[in-house]
Chain A
Amino acid sequence: MADVLKPERPVGIVGYGAYIPRYRLPAREIARIWRGTQEAEVLPVDQKSVPGPDEDTITMAIEAAENALMRAGIAPEVIRAVWIGSESHPYAVKPSGTIVAQALGITPNVSTADFEFACKAGTEAMQAGFGFVGGRMADYVLTIAMDTAQGRPGDALEYTAAAGGAAFVIGPAEHSLALLEGAFSYVTDTPDFFRRAHQLYPEHGHRFTGEPAYFHHIVHAAQKLMEGLQRRPPDYAAVVFHQPNTKFPFKVAKMLGFREEQVRTGLLAPFIGNTYAGASPLGLTAVLDLARPGDRILVVSFGSGAGSDALSFQVTERIEERRTRAPLTQTYIQRAKSIDYATYAKWRNKIVMH
């Protein structure tokens, strides 16, 4: 069996930060426009977060990263790489990382790159960060998972395609609030969801997105990591899965032998929707906000195309003083103003102006 991914130098998360925009679009408001209000309707989430008209992946990444740097308590200049995972980079050509690193005071002695792997672009950047620090190329790396996802009007994905994400300062284990125990990545060519160049909205495989894509990849990544580390589901205080809706994380948890209580703290989709690359990293921040030293946390992302990264952490005593240095994820969740579909359509460029 393939070995668990783990650098020789012990590494971990030194600081973390969340960001979720202020606005929410209730799922029933989308249903009102596109299918009428039906009796006993089952909607995938209660509401989704929507970026304000002056927000994008870059501005949101900056705020999450500021929070992560505040928790890490390190000077921006010691960060030697800024890697941003997203499927909604504002430019097709010009790295988001250049603007983010400049705004944070990290430039110019830094590597930056934008990562792309649908909803697992963020954990992909984290994996690279663990390797960069673990290989002693540098002591600190800033990785950011952020998205302002778009769903085609009237499509099933419009109910959930949301905005938000998280940032992590990756560093040496001796300064970490959560140690990386090991990681595992599992990837196949499975075209469950994709967007061609110059297209505004993605295409997806409807029912195909579940079994051979989401469930297959998450289950294999999680099982191989737990086997390699000789861990079992009861060893974990919490588990965070990619969360395209409310149902899938509970279902995959059951398949792997986790209880619902282990999933609940990191399951934010019912309140903010699917933040794509931001989803499982943001769930991890909500878990860290409440974690106790010694807790083990399993994070398993899923990115369409398709693949999963599984990451196993153990929380250290440094969590206690660092978590209060920046706003908690719940602060952003509760900072919520509902908008109607017309406002959403105006802000999200769905009105043709010519």
Chain B
Amino acid sequence: MMGIPGNWRLRKQRYQLAGTRCRDCGTIHFPPRQVCPRCKNRHLSDFKLSGKGTVYSYTTIYQTTPKFQFFVPYVVALIDLEEGPRITAQLTDVDPEAVTIGMPVEMVLRKISEQGERGLIHYGYKFRPRLR
């Protein structure tokens, strides 16, 4: 389980889908990179992704760890973001049987998990059927 410092370091990418963009070849990356995997240079700028995308593929989770038991059954999807990157995320506010490949989705910020009753609440991106 990721601790408090790890969550703190990742807050921009988890809260805002903050990635990077290569100033030479224009490739957009998420998660953010130090080196562009396409053209290998280090000329990268911060880039906030729009959070709009479509479902590339998905699976429904029925057996999980205690941390996620309140969400069962839930869908984890591969999502093609409009700007290019393909990311993995949980879907929310949707019934598993309603999910289809190609479904338009958008990012929302939700609770991912809690470090028990006394610990930190982890927030991060999930995706839902597009509303906005």
- Interface, chain A (partner B; CB < 8 A): 22, 52-56, 58-59, 62-63, 67, 70, 90-91, 99, 102-103, 105, 326-327, 331, 335, 337, 346-347
Contacts and interface: CB of A to CB of B under 8 A. Distances in A.
A67 B109 CA distance: 14
Interface string B82-104: 00000000001101000000000
B123 A331 contact: no
Contact of B110 (A54, A331, A347): A54
10 closest residue pairs by CB, A with B:
A54-B110, A103-B15, A53-B70, A54-B111, A22-B93, A62-B109, A59-B110, A103-B109, A59-B109, A53-B71
Q: Which of A56, A59, A331 has the most CB of B within 10 A?
A: A59
A155 B102 CA distance: 45
B5 to A, nearest CB: 16
Given A326-B132, A347-B70, 7 more contacts: A52-B93, A53-B70, A54-B92, A59-B111, A59-B123, A91-B121, A103-B109
Interface in B48-73: 48, 70-71
A103 B70 contact: no
Contacts of A337: 95
B123 A55 contact: no
Contacts of B112: 54
A91 B92 CA distance: 23
B123 A99 contact: yes
Given A54-B126, A58-B123, A327 B132 contact: yes
Contacts of A54: 71, 92, 110-112, 126
23 contacts: A22-B93, A52-B93, A53-B111, A54-B110, A54-B111, A54-B112, A55-B111, A56-B121, A58-B123, A59-B109, A63-B108, A67-B132, A70-B132, A90-B121, A91-B121, A99-B123, A102-B15, A103-B15, A105-B48, A326-B132, A327-B131, A335-B131, A346-B70
A52 B123 contact: no
Contacts of B15: 99, 102-103
B27 interface: no
A49 to B, nearest CB: 13
A146 to B, nearest CB: 13
A163 to B, nearest CB: 13
B11 interface: yes
A70 B121 CA distance: 27
A54 B67 CA distance: 12
A337 B11 CA distance: 31
A102 B121 contact: no
A59 B108 contact: yes
Contacts of A22: 93
B91 to A, nearest CB: 11
A53 B48 CA distance: 27
Contacts of A53: 70-71, 111
